[in-house]
Amino acid sequence: MQLDNQHPAVVMPKKPSFIVYSPRYRSNSGGAIVTHKLCDLLNRAGYKASLFPHWMPSWVSSRAMTPRSVACLNSYLLRSLYTTNASYQTPLASAADVADSVVVYPEIIGGNPLRAKKYVRWLLHRPGFHGGRTKYQAGDLYFCYQEAFNLHCEGMIFGGILNVAEVLLDIYRQTNYGPRTRVGYMIRKGRDREDLPDLQREWVLDGLDHQALARAFNECQRCYFYDAYTAYASYAAACGCVPVIVPMQGISKEAWVPEEGGRLGLAYGDADIPHALATRAALLEAMARVGQQNEASVRRFTSVVATHFGLGNTAVAS
């Protein structure tokens, strides 16, 4: 069969593949969980997605190494120590995969260490919270885990909210319907806060595994959180505890979490406890819908990325 030269075949744009630049999986690290979860969701949505290990032990010096050399050392020499979640679809990428993939960098990564032709940024916390301000490039496409993290991105292109979550409602659930008298505290990422009091004589819940923490939340009437953005606050509410975020100096409730839906079941200070109690049921309903919300968020993300880079995509933004 001879092709009509006057009507050449139309070459469709290639569907994007993804590499998520991520630390090793740890069940108590929110950043590790959601980056691995994004890779898993992309694969389950029909895309090719993999993880590129981001981890550098203290004994490795990078003074004489380029960022790409450091990244490749991580990938090849240290991947045997790199942990993943066995229930996720998270294969590991090689350096050769970078050329044809869109790399997703979390906000703690500056520049473009993999020298990817196509990359986006995902702000999982306020830029600069971990280790000081990170250098981004004007024109970079970026997404935020929530609106409160949309800071210090002048000259960049905002792609919208990319929020994926893993909820452990089989572990974090209310089992105690009787009286509660105990008060707990969680510090986590709030350890450098200037208003952090001496809690040596208080019940600090940091470091407990999920099962032990769920039992503790079921004993607590209230739990005070100095980490203002931890998912453990929502888990406390699921266990029947009142999670109280200790307000950050100079930051209002609306600036803390601009979206009303992100404040469900949570109190921003003691005066806000009635709001936490009144919206707990709505929080539990939202947590039960996380699977659907994850899928919708990933569909929108892939659509925006495909449009930005002129790639093929079968997803429909929602």
Percent of the chain with pLDDT over 70: 84
Kindly state whether residues 221 and 303 are assigned to the same domain: no
| Judgement on whether residues 44 and 148 belong to the same structural domain of the protein | yes
Q: Which two tokens stand for residue 17?
A: 């593949």
Same-domain check for residues 121 and 209: no
Q: What CA–CA distance (Å, rounded) separates 187 from 199?
A: 9
> Residue 212: which domain range?
182-278
* Average pLDDT for 192-198: 95
Are 23 and 128 contained in the same domain?
yes
Nearest to 87 by CA among 145, 44, 28, 31: 44
The pTM assigned to this predicted structure is 0.80
Close Cβ partners of 292 (under 8 Å, ≥ 6 residues apart): none
Number of domains comprising the chain: 2
Does a structural domain hold residue 141?
yes
Residue 286 lies in a domain: no
Query: What tokens appear for 55 in the block?
Result: 């981890």
Same structural domain for residues 218 and 96? Answer: no
Same domain, 210 and 132: no
What number is the average pLDDT over the span 101-125?
93
Domain check: are 29 and 150 in the same one?
A: yes
Q: Is the pLDDT confidence value at 241 over 80?
A: yes
Do 144 and 39 share a structural domain?
yes
Q: Is 151 among the domain residues? A: yes
Residue 48 and residue 95 in one domain: yes
Number of H helices, E strands in the chain: 8, 11
Domain membership flag for residue 176: no
- Where residue 38 sits, what CATH number does that domain have? 3.40.50
139 lies in the same domain as 29: yes
Mean of pLDDT values over 232-257: 97
C-alpha–C-alpha distance, residues 191 and 206, integer Å: 11
220 and 95 share one domain: no
* DSSP-derived secondary structure letter, 161: E
pLDDT in tens, 20-49: 999 999 988 889 999 999 999 999 999 999
Supply angle C-alpha 107, 39, 310, rounded to 5: 80
- Burial class, 317, CB count within 10 angstroms (exposed 0-12 / middle 13-18 / buried 19+): middle
Q: What mean pLDDT is predicted for residues 279-289?
A: 96
Tell me the sheet residues that pair with 186. Answer: 225
Assess whether 95 and 244 both reside in one domain.
no
Confidence band (pLDDT; 50, 70, 90) for 134?
Answer: confident
Q: Is residue 4 part of a domain?
A: no
Q: How far apart are CA 19 and CA 27, in angstroms?
A: 21
